[in-house]
């Protein structure tokens, strides 16, 4: 058991080191984005919502086709991949990195590796469910996809995408400031109250 844990830890460290090397040119930008997403300043949440709203209003105004939208998005990614490693050191000054910044960059890369592992793990569980319980797998997939299709039919695609993107960008800050855990705790307390009241009525 200990050998398995050590192997997993070593593999995680190796994957993190490899990702750090790949993203070294993006280090300054990632640290800045991390500060924004974790709401280190009070005006960051409205700034996130403002930027996202501006982008989606521009898309709504231009109304590009799917092919044009995908092409522009990929073109933007290619430009960013080329320009960011060149411009970031000149703007932020990579030679001024502190030990704290390097440690935070390491934590970000480690969290990205863990997130990727979780996604792969869920994907593998899905195929395991398909092999072991095919009926449950197909019923779950059909019901889930039907629900998603129904929501997509009721809500405009662009509005739905806007809500999803906004929520995902606000999620790290919500977690960092304990807002999600606060409301989850409130919901659990209310559910427990209802269950207790139901038990008393049954008695």
Residue with tokens 């974790």: 38
Alpha-carbon distance of 77 to 26, in angstroms, equals 13
- At residue 3, the pLDDT reads 57
Euclidean distance between the first and final Cα of the chain, in Å? 48
- At residue 78, the pLDDT reads 94
pTM over 0.85: no
Q: What is the DSSP string of 85-126?
A: HHHHHHHH-GGG--HHHHHHHHHHHHHHHHHHHHHHHHHHHH
Lowest mean pLDDT among 72-76, 188-192, 196-200: 196-200
Q: What is the DSSP string of 68-80?
A: HHHHHHHHHHHHH
Label residue 203 by pLDDT band (50, 70, 90): low
Alpha-carbon distance of 23 to 30, in angstroms, equals 9
How many Cβ atoms are within 10 Å of 129's Cβ, its own excluded? 15
Question: Radius of gyration (Cα) for the chain, nearest Å?
Answer: 22
How many Cβ atoms are within 10 Å of 193's Cβ, its own excluded? 10
- At residue 28, the pLDDT reads 85
Alpha-carbon distance of 108 to 104, in angstroms, equals 6
Per-residue pLDDT, averaged over 120-131, amounts to 88
- At residue 195, the pLDDT reads 78
State pLDDT tens for residues 5-55.
677 777 888 888 888 888 888 888 888 999 999 998 889 999 999 999 999
Residue 90 has which token pair? 């000149």
Alpha-carbon distance of 106 to 98, in angstroms, equals 12
- At residue 52, the pLDDT reads 95
State pLDDT tens for residues 53-106.
999 999 999 988 889 989 999 999 999 989 888 888 777 765 667 788 888 888
Question: If we measure between CA atoms, which residue out of 34, 60, 48 comes closest to residue 161?
Answer: 60
């Amino acid at each position: 058991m200990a050998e398995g844990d050590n192997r997993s830890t070593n593999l995680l460290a190796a994957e993190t080191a490899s990702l750090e090397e790949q993203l070294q040119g993006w280090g300054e930008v990632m640290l800045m984005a991390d500060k924004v997403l974790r709401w280190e300043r009070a005006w960051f949440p409205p700034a996130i919502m403002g930027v996202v709203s501006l982008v989606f209003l521009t898309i709504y105004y231009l109304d590009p086709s799917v092919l044009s939208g995908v092409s522009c998005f990929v073109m933007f990614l290619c430009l960013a991949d080329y320009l960011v490693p060149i411009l970031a050191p000149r703007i932020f000054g990579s030679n001024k990195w502190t030990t704290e910044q390097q440690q935070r960059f390491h934590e970000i890369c480690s969290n990205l590796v863990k997130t990727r592992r979780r996604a792969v793990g869920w994907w593998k569980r899905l195929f395991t469910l398909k092999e072991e319980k095919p009926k449950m797998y197909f019923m779950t997939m059909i019901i889930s996809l039907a629900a998603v299709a129904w929501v997509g039919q009721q809500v405009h695609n662009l509005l739905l995408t806007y809500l999803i993107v906004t929520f995902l960008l606000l999620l790290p800050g919500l977690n960092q400031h304990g807002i999600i855990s606060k409301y989850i705790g409130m919901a659990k307390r209310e559910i427990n109250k209802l269950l207790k009241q139901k038990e008393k009525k049954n008695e």
